[in-house]
Every structure is written in structure tokens, then in C-alpha cells.
Amino acid sequence: MTGNEQALATEGLGKRYGKKWALRGCTLALPAGKVIALVGPNGAGKTTLLRMAVGLVAPTVGTVEVFGQSPTENSPQALSRVGFLAQDHPLYRHFTVADLLRFGRSCNVRFDEGLALKRLSQLDIPLNRRAGALSGGQQAQVALALALAKRPDLLVLDEPLASLDPLARLEFQQTLMGAVAADGVTVLFSSHVVHELKQVCDHLVVLNHGHVAVQGDIDDLLGQHRLLTGPRVETGPRKSGSVIEANHADRHSTLLVRDGRTALLPGWQEQPVALEELVLAYLRRGIDQEATV
């Protein structure tokens, strides 16, 4: 892997179901070797994007490439490098954990059964237990162990944390981060949870109403945005491309801005913005406002 290799690149990507666009005009360049969060509300288009990335859904328009190859046109080459964990981490419920490992081995030439066995033993997950008899957290861990045993270069996870309790979430994240540190795997995962992102992610994509609202390296995004507080002004997001959100009280205004470092006007103060505030501000914007940034 080179330093600036892209794990996933899309250009004008869109998917329409009937008359409704689930995703539209999506252009992304997601760096390899990073942990990337895809954030957005229900129906934003996250699953649609992830399913196009792993070749399960064909685009209506535009292109998608995984490590430079189309997951639909060059599927064996592209998909041999990709692991996918669908929402609710589905497993064959009547299979034992050992059956699932055997199944994984028979389906994937690169399957590293030793690695999966090591992870499952560290988590005390019994191999003779049927998948349907495991707890939700254990099922998630088994699904993750199977996906990692494929030794993917890109691991795509659709809302992996949604059904897990706080302890199971932590264990799941630790397993994931351990794999990232050990193997340099690129992780792309979708989530509704914004407040935990800073600890686990390098890169962020915010989707809203089927459009990319903002994307970039998290440290860069935090460096580019700031909160300005000062005397009330009658400006809003539509008057300036650099004002992402404006909130007004009787005497004061607070503006979230994205711009170069310009001198502050008298009476104005600036402070850094937290990642959660930044994401929520972009989610609150309407589609017509997204085009101004």
C-alpha cells in the first residue's frame, strides 16, 4: 500500500429506487489505512453507499472503485480485498461457531482460521455453541472475527454498534482497533452515534438526504471550522458560503464558520468546535444549503 492510496473512490455516484434517489452526486476519495466513519440520519443513504462499495447494489449513475477496481465489473479482484459486515451482523443461526469457521474457510482462499480462533478464544466464545444461542454482543464479535479472518484490506461495517450495549460496544471497538493497529486494515463503518467518533476515527463522511454534506480528515475539519460569538448580526447560512450555521439570541449571535483565518471584528470571540457540534450543524442544514460550501 502506498501512502496516498485510496481505498474507496466514487465519482458522481448515485442510486435511484423508482423515482426516489437514495444517494446522489456522491464524490469521495477515502484514504487507505484509515478508520472512516459514515454518519447520517435514518434514510440518509449510508447502507446504499456501502452496498455499492461492496458490489451488492449497482449504481444508477457514476462510478465506484475499491483500490482502483470496480466492485461490480472486476468483482473477484476487487472483492477479494473487501470484508463486509451487514447491519445486524447476520449469521446462520443454526450453525455452531465451528461450522461458521469451516464455512468461512471453504468460501475464502485467504481465510485465516488461526486468527479467528485466537480472537474467539480471547473473548471466551465457545466453538460448539449455535450462533442463535449467542448473545447479541457475541454474535457481533463472531461476525467481526469471520470478516477479519478474510484478511481484508478494506473492512466495511454497516452500523456495527447499533444493537450493542455499552460494554459490548467497547469490546467490539477494541477488537476492531486491535486489527487496525496490527494489520493496517482500512475500516469504513456507518453509524448514528456521533459522540464516540473522535476516539476511533481518522476520517469523516456526513451524509444527509442522499447527499455528502461534509467529508474530510477529522483533524483538518476541526482546524478549518470555528465558533464565533459576538453582537447579534442578521446573517445566516444562505448569505455566506463560509457560515455553516447561525444561531441568534436577543443580543448575541453564534456562527459556525468554515474559512481561512480572518481577523475578528471588535467584540467577537472565537473558539474551537467539538466534532459532535460540527456534525450536527451539517445535519441540520437543508439540501439547498449544502451546495454553498
Ligand X SMILES: Nc1ncnc2c1ncn2[C@@H]1O[C@H](COP(=O)(O)OP(=O)(O)OP(=O)(O)O)[C@@H](O)[C@H]1O
What's the closest the beta carbon of residue 47 comes to ligand X, in angstroms? 3
Q: Which is nearer to ligand X, 24 or 119 (CB)?
A: 24
Q: Which is nearer to ligand X, 48 or 253 (CB)?
A: 48
* Cβ atoms 71, 60 nearer than 8 A: no
What's the closest the beta carbon of residue 25 comes to ligand X, in angstroms? 14
What's the closest the beta carbon of residue 12 comes to ligand X, in angstroms? 17
What's the closest the beta carbon of residue 289 comes to ligand X, in angstroms? 19
Q: Which is nearer to ligand X, 1 or 193 (CB)?
A: 193
What's the closest the beta carbon of residue 40 comes to ligand X, in angstroms? 5
Task: Enumerate helices (H) and strands (E) in the chain, giving the number of each.
Answer: 10, 13
Q: Which residues pair with 215 in a beta bridge?
A: 205
> Given the rule CB under 6 A, which residues bind ligand X?
17, 22, 40, 42-48
Q: Which is nearer to ligand X, 39 or 142 (CB)?
A: 39
Q: Which is nearer to ligand X, 50 or 255 (CB)?
A: 50
CA-CA distance, 111 to 101, in Å (whole number)? 9
Q: Which is nearer to ligand X, 28 or 101 (CB)?
A: 28
What's the closest the beta carbon of residue 50 comes to ligand X, in angstroms? 8
Q: What are phi and psi of 264, to 5 degrees?
A: -80, 145
The rounded radius of gyration (Å) of the Cα atoms in the chain is 21
* Cβ atoms 34, 215 nearer than 8 A: no
For residue 17, how many other CB atoms are within 10 A of its CB? 10
How far from chain centre, in Å, is Cα 289? 23
